[in-house]
Structure 1
Amino acid sequence: MSDKQLIRGTMILTASIFISKMLGLIYIFPFKAIVGLDGLALYQYGYTPYTVLLSLSTLGIPLAVSKFVSKYNALGDYHTGQRLFRSGLVVMSITGFIAFISLFFLADPIARQVLDTSSLEGNTIEDAVFTIRMVSVALLIVPIMSLIRGYFQGFQSMGPTAVSQVIEQIIRIIFILVLTFLIIEVWQGELGTAVGFATFGAFVGALGGMGVLLYYWVKRKGHIAQQVEASTVDHQIPLSKMYKELITYALPISLVGLSIPLYQTVDLFSFNNAMRSIGYDQDIIDMFFGAFQQAAHKVILIPVSVATAMSLTILPTITNAFINRDEERLQRQITQTYQIILFLCVPASLGLVLLSDSTYATLFGLSDMDIGAPMLKYYAPVAILFSIFAVTASLLQGINRQKFAVIALVAGITFKVIFNYPFIVWFDAWGAVLATGIGYSIAVCVNIWAIGKYADFNYTFLLKRLLLICIYAIFMAIVVVLVRTGVGSILPLENRLNATIILFSSVMSGLGIYMYLSVRSGLAGKILGHRFSFLSKRGKGVREKEQGK
């Protein structure tokens, strides 16, 4: 396969991941308007254990199968990939069924561990059990779907994965929003019933995604069969050895992909208990948890998704440069990847800190802004750490040092496990954000160190770029504060329309000054010019030595 086709396939897959993530972020705004913060909390009570068990049941299978099949196809051995696929369907069916049974019967113990059994307010044990059991059904089909996607990717065919991901997300979101609206607003049903069916949307969406994959399979199975029949090589690898190789690929990918769900699992089992220990009632705890794990979390993932989607497209080039020992290109691409993350995430996170009240009011309304806005304000800086960890973990995979990403994850999550409860007791609900931030900081430091050591990467130039980005972000912050104060004095933050006007005017002003300084100095062109040609024009200001260009 040509480099041009590989890049095209990577871009298609990256675009689909970005679209799916953005859809998954945006739908939370109308969903929250229907079910409220306590509904978001109940949704998260079910979705967090589901996400962990899904990751464990698939074990990074899509990427691992893709790598395995691609390797043996390149050797002319199409038989081995097909044997893996056939046996893998059986294995994924079994692991998916085991995960489903486990989550279904663990629903009651999980709910009792999370919620206050004596409380008459807030979400009930029965609601949480129903929600967890409804989402558990998706485990019967999603692992199988993951295997099929990985098999197609092994043939360098990214279209089936891309289309199925987007269709799956669209169907899931439509199902969630329509059914929850009907249950609560039309049929006057219970919140627990609505949220339970919302989590069942994971299964409905998976059916849609599976339908797309089956369509592609029927369409292409003849061509695949011809390739297998024409194959003259068959390594006759025993299944045990085959799966040992597969797990070698899959385990680091799976563990790193579990980073956010693992942190959320720690919060699931400690947040409510810690909050109860300092005197909060269950209904208020639900609101804090919903604001933390759903509302604020979804908002901060917006800049994370944009930054990582743009930077991760560089990773195939990094892998290629590492394999071919092209040291100069490797250093240049690592620098570029870091710069994209910092250039986008630093001002976005700072902006969310300064505009947390108007952002929350615009997206979620003013009814619970006293809880949601401060949570967003404290949580926003963690977006930078999320982005850097995701990209540095991928960089380590690109230079075949993924074990350090696993070490980093373990170190960070260990800190979170030990200090989450006491931090909440000492610092209230914001302690959970602090524990997550410090945990991710530890993980990021390990990754940065490993890249410096094993890719022989020098951070001196990057620190200079970071300083320049921070200076421009400070100028942006001054403008944002001035505009926000001025507009707020005319239009007080008393309704959603005023909040939207404050947010829009502040964001446009801040973005305008940040981009003006970045383009004028040439910084934007050096960082993003390879994507947006109009930014490549040299600025009339700073003309620094271009180590990172």
Structure 2
Amino acid sequence: MQMQAKATNQLFKGAFILTLAALFGKVLSAAYRVPLQNMIGDMGYYIYQQIYPIIGIAFMLALYGFPAAISRFIAAEKNQYFTKMIIRKIFILLLLFHLALFVFFFLGSPYLAKIMGDPLLITPIRHSGWVFLFVPFVALLRGMFQGNLLMGPTAASQVSEQLVRVIVIILAAYMIYQSNLSLYKIGDGAVIAAVGGLSAAFFCLLLSYKKLTFQKTEKEPVRYLFILKHVIGFGILISMNHMLLLFLQLADAFTMVPRLLIAGYSPMESMEMKGILDRGQPLIQFATVLGSSLALTLIPRIAKQKDDSRNESVSSYVEASLKFSIYISVGATVGLIWLFRDVNQLLFLNDDGTTSLQVLALTILFTSLALTTAAVLQGLGYMKQTALFIFIGLVTKVILNYVLIASFGMIGAASATVLSVGIVAFFNCWLLRKVLKRRKLFSFSRGPLYVAAASMLLFLAGYEFIFGDPFDTVSRGYLALYVMGAVAIGAILYFIVLIVAKGFTKEELESMKIPKILLRNK
């Protein structure tokens, strides 16, 4: 019993370490795109974003999908599957699967570039296939460590991977900018950065390889078909559950430029418009991390008690997760929409596409809700259903892009993203309410939320009235101070109003270490 408790504590500690590493990676992944766009412009950023979803799939497979599937597989039956023979079989299947992906992108690059509406993307797409050949080595080692409850090496490899990838891509962009090279070289730079990141992760994992202890013999032979189902199949399923935003970017990569061309825009205009809309991705990613990260810390507790979905503690954890997610994402969405013209000018040096980006900002609310509800459902064992809902969202996005972009341009693409994520969130909420057997999923009062959002908007309006519109200022530094001041004070005010308006329970406030002066009337 004591050993089981120790293993459980080790598991939760490891999960916390991986969560911190994942948050660091997501924030860094969002942050580097701003200087990247500043150096290569909207056209160069468009090229990068056409290749990024392909490379992103490789990273999702290497970071989430296959490591989780492998760890789950080898940890079964007290690690009876953790033998060198079985690990060798897993590696062979991983290698064959990723070799097939390499061949698909390498040979299919002309056709894929044609669908994207840009034949100059053939070479970057072809080169992106090489990234998949590095995935099996990293995914296998991560899965082996996680299967033995050794999360530290995986977390360290993730941090080193992100750092190397970001440094290399920024250096590549700087070289292209300084040497006046073709902007399409940024696609090759993205591939080199990805390969460098995976290589760094691999060597980082190798440093801890001696910590692994293999079983000496197999209890019974394990067939390749069995491994194919439980590692490859399950790994793909897990990966899909982490690819919501990536799939939406992939849909835009294949449909936006062709539909803009049909709408009558020139090739250059279409590509630049795609690059402008992609400015919203780092902001959405950063705000979504804020909106879902606090909520997701409660998921291990939900998973621990998943055997009884009617358990009162499960329901309370779910409600707390949803409440935190909605509170943070609503505040981020409302604030970003109001400030987007200034944020656009500050980060990307002009206000092009502000209206479309303001529409796209609504994605933050639905994405945070979709990710939080999906994580809860996965913790309760409904992984296949959440993957299906994401696939439905992808199909919806493609259809809406075809319908809306030709008529409404960038705003059509932004609206398609919002509606698609909204559908995923709706299905997740529907299933979660059904699983928990609750008449209402959101039982907490929304009054404090409305009051807090309105208070923040009034503050932002007054802030702009007092300090004036900084948009026409020649100083980027002044604009930065203006935006940071608005964000910081607005966020503090928003949460103070939520607390005073009794938007949180006493237990929730105590768990957040809220100052006692704000708890007097609770």
TM-score normalized by the length of structure 1:
0.87
Q: In structure 2, what is the equivalent of residue 288 of structure 1?
A: 273
- 2:485 is matched with which residue: 486, 505, 509? 505
Contact 1:266 1:416 in 2 (8 A): yes
Q: In structure 2, what is the equivalent of residue 202 of structure 1?
A: 194
Q: In structure 2, what is the equivalent of residue 532 of structure 1?
A: 512
Contact 2:62 2:138 in 1 (8 A): no
Contact 1:274 1:424 in 2 (8 A): yes
In the alignment, the residues of structure 2 paired with residue 532 and residue 104 of structure 1 have an alpha-carbon distance, to the nearest angstrom, of 50
1:431 lines up with 2:412 in the alignment: yes
Q: In structure 2, what is the equivalent of residue 132 of structure 1?
A: 125
Contact 1:10 1:313 in 2 (8 A): no
Give the counterpart letter for 1:488 in structure 2.
G
In the alignment, the residues of structure 2 paired with residue 325 and residue 416 of structure 1 have an alpha-carbon distance, to the nearest angstrom, of 32
CA deviation profile, 1:129-185 (whole Å, cap 9, x unmatched): 232233322111023312221221111111111000110110111111123212321
1:159 lines up with 2:164 in the alignment: no
Q: Alignment partner of 1:444: what SS?
A: helix
Contact 1:25 1:301 in 2 (8 A): yes
CA deviation profile, 1:423-479 (whole Å, cap 9, x unmatched): 11222211111112112211211111111111224536x354344223211211111
Q: 1:321 to 1:81 in 2, by over 3 A?
A: farther
Q: Tell me how far 1:203 sits from its aligned partner.
A: 0.7
Q: In structure 2, what is the equivalent of residue 190 of structure 1?
A: 182
In the alignment, the residues of structure 2 paired with residue 278 and residue 355 of structure 1 have an alpha-carbon distance, to the nearest angstrom, of 30
Give the counterpart letter for 1:61 in structure 2.
F
Q: In structure 1, what is the equivalent of residue 91 of structure 2?
A: 89
Q: Tell me how far 1:98 sits from its aligned partner.
A: 2.0
Please, which moves more after superposition, 401-410 or 440-449? Answer: 401-410
Q: In structure 1, what is the equivalent of residue 208 of structure 2?
A: 216
CA deviation profile, 1:66-123 (whole Å, cap 9, x unmatched): 22222232xxx4345654422111121222222122212222222222235xxxxxxx
Q: 1:361 to 1:32 in 2, by over 3 A?
A: same
Contact 1:412 1:440 in 2 (8 A): yes
Q: In structure 2, what is the equivalent of residue 547 of structure 1?
A: none
Q: Tell me how far 1:527 sits from its aligned partner.
A: 8.0
Contact 2:142 2:154 in 1 (8 A): yes
Q: Which runs of 5+ in 1 are unaligned?
A: 117-124, 544-549
In the alignment, the residues of structure 2 paired with residue 423 and residue 526 of structure 1 have an alpha-carbon distance, to the nearest angstrom, of 46
Q: 1:29 to 1:53 in 2, by over 3 A?
A: closer
1:338 lines up with 2:322 in the alignment: yes
Q: Which runs of 5+ in 2 are unaligned?
A: 1-5
1:314 lines up with 2:305 in the alignment: no
In the alignment, the residues of structure 2 paired with residue 6 and residue 59 of structure 1 have an alpha-carbon distance, to the nearest angstrom, of 16
In the alignment, the residues of structure 2 paired with residue 321 and residue 67 of structure 1 have an alpha-carbon distance, to the nearest angstrom, of 18
Q: Tell me how far 1:353 sits from its aligned partner.
A: 0.3
Q: 1:216 to 1:278 in 2, by over 3 A?
A: same
In the alignment, the residues of structure 2 paired with residue 492 and residue 463 of structure 1 have an alpha-carbon distance, to the nearest angstrom, of 45
Q: 1:53 to 1:209 in 2, by over 3 A?
A: closer
Contact 2:463 2:486 in 1 (8 A): yes
Give the counterpart letter for 1:406 in structure 2.
A
Q: In structure 2, what is the equivalent of residue 520 of structure 1?
A: 500
Q: In structure 1, what is the equivalent of residue 3 of structure 2?
A: none
1:435-514 paired onto structure 2 within 5 Å: 435-459=416-440, 462-489=442-469, 492-514=472-494
Q: In structure 1, what is the equivalent of residue 15 of structure 2?
A: 10
Q: Tell me how far 1:487 sits from its aligned partner.
A: 1.8
1:256-271 paired onto structure 2 within 5 Å: 256-271=241-256
Q: Tell me how far 1:42 sits from its aligned partner.
A: 0.3
1:347-366 paired onto structure 2 within 5 Å: 347-366=331-350
1:255 lines up with 2:255 in the alignment: no
In the alignment, the residues of structure 2 paired with residue 531 and residue 38 of structure 1 have an alpha-carbon distance, to the nearest angstrom, of 47
1:402 lines up with 2:402 in the alignment: no
In the alignment, the residues of structure 1 paired with residue 336 and residue 519 of structure 2 have an alpha-carbon distance, to the nearest angstrom, of 28
Give the paired residue count: 517
1:176 lines up with 2:169 in the alignment: yes
1:77-156 paired onto structure 2 within 5 Å: 77-80=79-82, 82-115=84-117, 125-126=119-120, 128-156=121-149
Q: In structure 2, what is the equivalent of residue 41 of structure 1?
A: 46
CA deviation profile, 1:497-537 (whole Å, cap 9, x unmatched): 33213212221331232122133345357585465323577
Q: 1:163 to 1:443 in 2, by over 3 A?
A: same
In the alignment, the residues of structure 2 paired with residue 472 and residue 262 of structure 1 have an alpha-carbon distance, to the nearest angstrom, of 33
Q: Alignment partner of 2:385: what SS?
A: helix
Q: Alignment partner of 1:322: what SS?
A: coil
Q: Tell me how far 1:312 sits from its aligned partner.
A: 1.8
Q: Tell me how far 1:55 sits from its aligned partner.
A: 5.6
Q: 1:63 to 1:530 in 2, by over 3 A?
A: farther
Contact 2:309 2:380 in 1 (8 A): no
Contact 1:57 1:96 in 2 (8 A): no
Contact 1:522 1:536 in 2 (8 A): no
Report the identity percentage: 22
Q: In structure 1, what is the equivalent of residue 224 of structure 2?
A: 239
In the alignment, the residues of structure 1 paired with residue 99 and residue 66 of structure 2 have an alpha-carbon distance, to the nearest angstrom, of 16
Contact 2:69 2:230 in 1 (8 A): no
- 1:374 is matched with which residue: 330, 355, 364? 355
TM-score normalized by the length of structure 2:
0.92
Q: Alignment partner of 1:133: what SS?
A: helix
In the alignment, the residues of structure 1 paired with residue 459 and residue 64 of structure 2 have an alpha-carbon distance, to the nearest angstrom, of 47
In the alignment, the residues of structure 2 paired with residue 502 and residue 374 of structure 1 have an alpha-carbon distance, to the nearest angstrom, of 21
